[in-house]
Structure 1
Amino acid sequence: MIKVMIVDDSAVVRAVISDILQREPDMQVIATAPDPVFAMSKMNQQWPDVLILDIEMPRMDGLTFLRQIMQQRPTPTVICSTLTTEGADITLQALRAGAVSIVAKPTAGLSDFLRSQDEDLVSVVRAAASANIKRLRSGTASTAAAAAAPPKLTADAILEAPRNTPRLSQTTDRVVAIGTSTGGTQALEYLLPRLPATVPGLVIVQHMPAQFTQSFARRLNDLSRIEVKEAVSGDRVVTGRALIAPGGRHMLLKRNGAQYVVDVVDGPPVSRHRPSVDVLFRSVAKAAGANALGVIMTGMGDDGARGMKEMRDAGAPTVAQDEASCIVFGMPKEAIKHGGAADIAALEDIPAMIVRYGNAN
């Protein structure tokens, strides 16, 4: 039984989320609280397996409370954050403090919005409950976005699968494609600052709501020696640059003469995500073939597993993050199961692998 506590100053949010979770046979809402001070008194009586936490609350803000919790007793925490630019910046601070996931909520129509994404709320809580507690600590960050549950489409909805096309010959131009979800903020904040300015161009899908990817890209750019930016159509994939797929849109790699560029497109969610790792990886398999390295890291679900297999079939080297260093081992596990991962490596070893790939003749 997954024991959940909901801390939010909105009575509507507390009631709706409680109702959604209580319908699940493996979940129990053990308490709700309108602010962190009241929550702590209840947590001292019974500690939850998962905490759902608002940011802006009376008496103590959620960010301060989260930092206290992560120092006292690291607990998988889902941030329930408002869809605003200011909210995005504060939420990213919460993710760096150790939160696992984001549930983005609007400023109006809360009840209908939350009920429309009940399946994803449940999935996010289950993923949080399975998080690797040893990887949750103050100063880390991770995220997965909750969105309305669409049909589980494949990458066919965006672009055709490779059709027994001959492998592309290797060139000096190389690409690194990375896919991640829950725990990915932590993983990327570890990975990108450790890459030199001479690293091959990177294309990255991190499951996040639209309002958060731009702030996240700015944060990574400030931390890193390479340039990091939220992608727009036509951006070139060049040495020393990482392009982050914008939340709410798919990103594809394309070959434009002698150059690689990205195309940012609309379309239905694929593997229940937009942007989708499967879409990015398939496009990389078709456009770059053996001239790309595929990396899949911590995250829930199976997005990217099939796309990584297509990359490997096209001649690309591929690597999956190992279980011990993942916040959630879902996506790498599925990539391994589908035969897409040629190598398995700890997060701490992946930067060096990318550098070696870039330096190989």
Structure 2
Amino acid sequence: MTDTKVFIVDDSAVVRQVLTGLLDSLPGIKVIGAAPDPIFALTRMEKDWPDVIILDIEMPRMDGITFLKKLMHEHPTPVVICSTLTAKGAEVTMQAMSAGAVDIITKPTVNLKGFLQDSKTLLADAIKGASHARLKKSAAPTGKPVDGSPKLTADAVLSHTSLITMTETTDRVVAIGTSTGGTQALEYVLTRLPRTTPGIVIVQHMPEAFTAAFAKRLDSLCQINVKEAEQNDRVIPGLALIAPGGKHMLLRRSGAQYRVEIKDGPLVSRHRPSVDVLFRSAAQAAGKNVLGVIMTGMGDDGAHGMKELHDTGALCVAQDEASCVVYGMPKEAVKLGGTDGELPLSAIPNLIIQSPNRAKFLKG
């Protein structure tokens, strides 16, 4: 198997040096060049085009978003954003994700070298996921981790207790899990939902400084309300709650109401928030009243949780391969037998609006 060729575009010489050394030490990854801005990068990349580009946002001569839009129109290439952990940076990065970037690597303002050295798994997974992305030309602008660390299951956060039979309420809940390519997929789905949509809980793999900006952006685009979830937020019709980066989100039952619990804990399936944790909690709190949807993403987070959810009688659906940026998480859920079918991204909004039970869905 050939190495994944990576090109780094960042105006910081320190970032370019540290990332180059770190990535070249990872098996299956080869840095073929680095440049301080997109103009230099385009000249260098013409001779040897990379499989993945790591891109900063604020740079001289051409900013990262302008460069990204140019790339997606002229030469679609998987791009991983490398951005600082600031509110302003998060908002701009969300614009970049909307323009076609497939993942985010957080870049702190202090102890940069130490952070990057401690983030081998994050970097390797981001690049591997991006390298498998299927991209299409946009309109003209106006895997396995390499460090061998243990992979924890949802047991590390929530015990696998007996499943709960729901009798007191018929309120529906939609639980969605996604990762690489998920920012664009979620925007497509949520912007097509009416205010009468059942309450939605979402895990999108994303660093902690970015989920608030992501939710705020979606809220400005959608008929439904979208917010970063907070402890004890109610799950109500017309509202989508997005798990905060760096925290797990669980669905809980309080009488006839559903609420979310936000908690710390170890990485589960190498992620925090974890889709497995959300889906297991949904199985325990709401059972067959849940519509589970697993969408584009690298790896297998959510596959086991969806199987547990499916076993309660909940309708569970995966995004199909043709419409995924990365057909990883949905593929693993299907392999485990935790889904009732696969649908293209274009059909998922209508599925959520109709919110059918399993029997109705299978009947067609």
CA distance change for structure 1 residues 149 and 207 in 2, over 3 Å: closer, same or farther?
farther
- 1:58-87 Cα shifts (integer Å, max 9, x gaps): 222111111111111111001110010010
Amino acid at match of 1:115: Q
Equivalent position of 1:137 in the other structure: 138
Indicate the SS of the match to 2:39.
Answer: helix
Equivalent position of 2:82 in the other structure: 80
Indicate the SS of the match to 2:291.
Answer: strand
Q: CA deviation at 1:138?
A: 5.8
Equivalent position of 2:117 in the other structure: 115
Amino acid at match of 1:70: M
Equivalent position of 2:103 in the other structure: 101
Q: CA deviation at 1:150?
A: 6.0
Equivalent position of 2:9 in the other structure: 7
Equivalent position of 1:251 in the other structure: 249
Distance 2:194 2:107 in 1: 37
**Comparing 81-90 with 151-160, which one deviates more in the overlay?**
151-160
Q: TM-score, normalised by structure 2?
A: 0.92
Indicate the SS of the match to 1:344.
Answer: strand
Distance 2:139 2:101 in 1: 9
Amino acid at match of 2:151: K
Distance 1:138 1:216 in 2: 23
Distance 2:275 2:168 in 1: 23
Say how many residue pairs are matched.
353
Distance 1:200 1:254 in 2: 16
- List aligned pairs for 1:145-224, cutoff 5 A: 151-163=150-162, 165=163, 167-169=165-167, 171-224=169-222
Q: CA deviation at 1:137?
A: 3.4
- List aligned pairs for 1:52-71, cutoff 5 A: 52-71=54-73
Does the 8 Å contact 2:303/2:338 carry over to 1?
A: yes
Equivalent position of 1:335 in the other structure: 333
One of 267, 277, 298 as aligned partner of 1:279:
277
Equivalent position of 2:130 in the other structure: 128
Q: TM-score, normalised by structure 1?
A: 0.93
Amino acid at match of 2:353: V
Equivalent position of 1:40 in the other structure: 42
Distance 2:148 2:250 in 1: 23
Indicate the SS of the match to 1:68.
Answer: helix
Equivalent position of 1:261 in the other structure: 259
Q: CA deviation at 1:25?
A: 4.0
Indicate the SS of the match to 1:112.
Answer: helix
Q: CA deviation at 1:133?
A: 2.0
Distance 2:260 2:121 in 1: 32
Indicate the SS of the match to 2:191.
Answer: helix
Does the 8 Å contact 1:150/1:272 carry over to 2?
A: no
Distance 1:132 1:65 in 2: 19
Distance 2:354 2:341 in 1: 14
Amino acid at match of 1:81: S
Equivalent position of 1:300 in the other structure: 298
Does the 8 Å contact 1:170/1:291 carry over to 2?
A: no
Q: CA deviation at 1:358?
A: 5.8
One of 12, 16, 19 as aligned partner of 2:18:
16
- 1:38-72 Cα shifts (integer Å, max 9, x gaps): 11111222211111111111222111111111111
- 1:277-315 Cα shifts (integer Å, max 9, x gaps): 111000000000001110000011111011000000111
Amino acid at match of 2:92: I
Which stretches in structure 1 are left out of the alignment for 5+ residues? 141-145
Does the 8 Å contact 2:169/2:256 carry over to 1?
A: no
Distance 2:73 2:331 in 1: 30
Amino acid at match of 1:156: D
Distance 1:9 1:171 in 2: 56
Indicate the SS of the match to 1:211.
Answer: coil
**Comparing 115-124 with 23-32, which one deviates more in the overlay?**
23-32
Indicate the SS of the match to 2:31.
Answer: strand
Q: CA deviation at 1:162?
A: 3.2
Does the 8 Å contact 2:38/2:62 carry over to 1?
A: yes
Amino acid at match of 1:243: L
Amino acid at match of 1:190: Y
Equivalent position of 1:319 in the other structure: 317
Which stretches in structure 2 are left out of the alignment for 5+ residues? none
